[in-house]
């Protein structure tokens, strides 16, 4: 049974082969059909098909957990302010003779 590896943005992975700069560690910067990786030492970016990445993957150095995102909560204030549409025009009755 094949193991399904889940990647998340911000994960740091270790690959079996080092980048020419000498670093084994890459950060996941893009998810999709291809996984975008950024070298942790020289900031070089590559795109690898998921299957290729899974083959080269040695392990996770750091997993981007939900607790990492917890700090960035933006609350939208729920204002129940409806514009007043009540149009109170003073009625001026024109009296014509």
Q: Which residues bind Zn ion (CB under 5 A)?
A: 19, 21, 23, 39, 41-42, 44
* Beta bridge pairs of residue 34: 49
CB of 39 to Zn ion, least distance (A): 3
The alpha carbons of the chain give a radius of gyration, in whole angstroms, of 28
CB-neighbour burial class of residue 38 (10 A; exposed 0-12, middle 13-18, buried 19+): middle
Looking at the Cβ atoms of 45 and 55, the one nearer to Zn ion is: 45
Of the pair 45, 65, the CB lying nearest Zn ion is at 45
What is the nearest approach in angstroms of Zn ion to the Cβ of residue 80?
A: 53
């Amino acid at each position: 049974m094949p193991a399904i590896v889940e990647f998340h943005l911000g994960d740091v992975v270790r690959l079996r082969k080092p980048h020419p700069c000498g670093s084994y560690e890459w950060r996941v910067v893009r998810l999709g059909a291809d996984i975008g990786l950024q070298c942790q030492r020289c900031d070089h970016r590559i795109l690898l098909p998921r299957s290729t990445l899974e083959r080269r993957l040695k392990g996770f150095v750091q997993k981007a957990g939900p607790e990492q995102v917890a700090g960035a909560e933006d609350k939208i204030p729920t204002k129940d302010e409806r514009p007043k549409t009540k149009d109170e025009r003073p009625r001026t009755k024109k009296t014509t003779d």
